[in-house]
Amino acid sequence: MSFAFDLPPAARIGQPAESIDTPSLVLDLAVFERNVERMQAAADKAGVKLRPHAKAHKTPDIALAQIARGAVGICCQKVSEAIPFVRAGVRDIHISNEVAGPAKAALLAELARHAHLSVCVDDLRQIDALAAATLAAGSQLDIFVEVDVGQGRCGVADGDAALPLVERIAAHSQLTLRGLQAYHGGIQHLRGWDERREAAARAADRTGNAVARLAAAGVRCDVVTGGGSGSVEFDLSSGVYTEIQPGSYVFMDADYGSNAYTGTMRFEHGLFIATAVMSVAAGDRVVVDAGLKSMAVDSGLPWIWEKNAPSNSLDYVAANDEHGIVRPKQEGAVDALPPLGSRMMLVPGHCDPTLNLYDELVGVRGGVVACIWPISARGLSR
């Protein structure tokens, strides 16, 4: 028997949102647009360029929407991740990361023939590899020296340590030093607003010192790039960054939602996992059909979202591969449990690796499916 059989789509344009198949990744388009505009307006007001991080969404349609509203380009975290964005017409991409090995340098140099690309370095040998690859490809590459301003990951320690790299970059006509990258991921998730403000101030100090050290040596940094969704209000007013690279603000996951915020820089939750109750056989819990394969739990379990806020009555308490266990917040309050087949919207704990699990993002407006965006960079980690 022949088998010509394809999985029906999870959603069709024009269909009511409540009939999207589960589990599916759903974007509230009105919230998304407000988040994009709020960040752009804040950057414009501060006179700082916005280069959103595409590792959060991996979705060319989102990058194009950000650029249409004023973003100068995007960041990607891996070279392969940039390919679908170049294919979709994005022409200015910063690889906010170091690149390991000649194969990746060659890929980057080849991509640089099709778009304006920059990349980070923190080692002389990376520069040599990039110089050889761009020479072979006949392309030009902009280079940022990464400075570790407290994250404890990649990057040289300070301006002094950056100087030999700056010199080596200058030795290659196909490489151009554009400035410094100074990103501190840990700050983004500090819960208290004052705590984040102080940590961001320390990182900005270290960044400013590195810029000053280079200036004293006669090296100008046209661009100083850094900052994220949790620190952006401080980064914008620091006077140090010429460009910010937040990513998660378009979605707001539960982890970012657990931060305390003041003022206008709080973004709205727009990303959801639509899930359905598949078992109610036990009286004290229900089981939903979204688990570890439908969401990343590295930053905590998802929130159950009801009436535009985290549920008052239910908790998602455990994730198995393809199951989620939902219990009443109040022990014994089993009347709060939803019936078999009913639907729930979850706010994932961490948006970036959750997007990386899906091929499509279903956009909803006014209760109706309005678009289905391919998550084209899903799985591109090379």
Interactions with its own copies, residue window 321-350 (CB under 8 A): 321-323, 325, 340-341, 350
DSSP type of residue 120: E
Q: Which is nearer to its own copies, 48 or 95 (CB)?
A: 95
Question: Cis omega before residue 23 (within 30°)?
Answer: yes
- DSSP for 71-93, please give it: ---EEESSHHHHHHHHHTT--EE
Closest approach of its own copies to the CB of residue 113, in Å: 8
Closest to its own copies by CB, 88 vs 371, is 88
Report the residue number, 278 or 371, with the smaller CB distance to its own copies.
Answer: 278
What is the crossing angle of helices 159-170 and 193-216, to 10°? 50
Q: Are 269 and 307 in contact (CB under 8 A)?
A: no
Length of the chain: 382
Among 297, 304, 337, 344, binds its own copies (CB under 8 A): 297
Count of residues interacting with its own copies (CB under 8 A) = 79
User: Min. distance of Cβ 19 from its own copies in angstroms?
Assistant: 8
Member of 16, 164, 239, 379 binding its own copies (CB under 8 A): 379
Confirm if 349 and 255 have CB atoms less than 8 A apart.
yes
Does 255 engage in binding with its own copies (CB under 8 A)?
no
Across 218-288, the runs of DSSP E, i.e. the strands, are 223-226, 243-244, 271-279, 286-288
Q: Whole-angstrom Cα distance, residue 126 to residue 50? A: 27
Q: What angle do CA 27, 254, 369 make, to 5 degrees?
A: 10
* Cα 318 → chain centroid: 25
**Whether 77 contacts 95, CB under 8 Å:** yes
Supply the minimum distance, in Å, between the C-beta of residue 196 and its own copies. 18
Q: Which two tokens stand for residue 281?
A: 């056989």
Q: According to CB under 8 A, which one of 223, 277, 345, 362 is a site residue for its own copies?
A: 277
Shortest distance (Å) from residue 33 CB to its own copies: 25
Span of 206-214, 224-232, 237-245, 318-326 interacting with its own copies by CB under 8 A:
318-326
Q: Which stretch binds its own copies (CB under 8 A): 37-45, 209-217, 276-284, 363-371?
A: 276-284
Stretch that binds its own copies, among 37-45, 66-74, 190-198, 282-290 (CB under 8 A): 282-290
Ranges within 185-244 binding its own copies (CB under 8 A): 185
Q: Work out which of 26, 75, 119, 148 binds its own copies, going by CB under 8 A.
A: 148
Give the contacts of 257 (CB within 8 A, at least 6 positions apart): 269, 303, 347
Nearer to its own copies, 48 or 199 (CB): 199
**Residue selected from 42, 46, 111, 180 as contacting its own copies according to rule CB under 8 A:** 111
Contact partners, residue 63, CB within 8 Å, separation at least 6: 52, 54, 57, 71, 74, 85, 88, 90
Among 63, 287, 344, 361, binds its own copies (CB under 8 A): 287
Question: In 3-state terms, what secondary structure has residue 336?
Answer: helix
Distance between CA atoms of residues 11 and 292, nearest Å: 22
Q: Which of residues 20-59 bind its own copies (CB under 8 A)?
A: 21-24, 55
For residue 244, give both structure tokens: 């910010």
- Decide whether 236 or 357 has the Cβ nearer to its own copies: 357
User: Least separation, in Å, of the C-beta of 63 and its own copies?
Assistant: 15
The binder of its own copies chosen from 74, 99, 314, 344 (CB under 8 A): 99
164 near its own copies (CB under 8 A): no
167 binds its own copies (CB under 8 A): no
Restricted to residues 349-368, the positions that interact with its own copies (CB under 8 A) are 350, 352-353, 356-359
Interior angle at CA 186, CA 185 and CA 187, nearest 5 = 95
* Residues in region 65-84 near its own copies by CB under 8 A: 77-78, 80, 83
Give the SS3 label for residue 151: coil
Q: Is 319 in the site for its own copies (CB under 8 A)?
A: yes
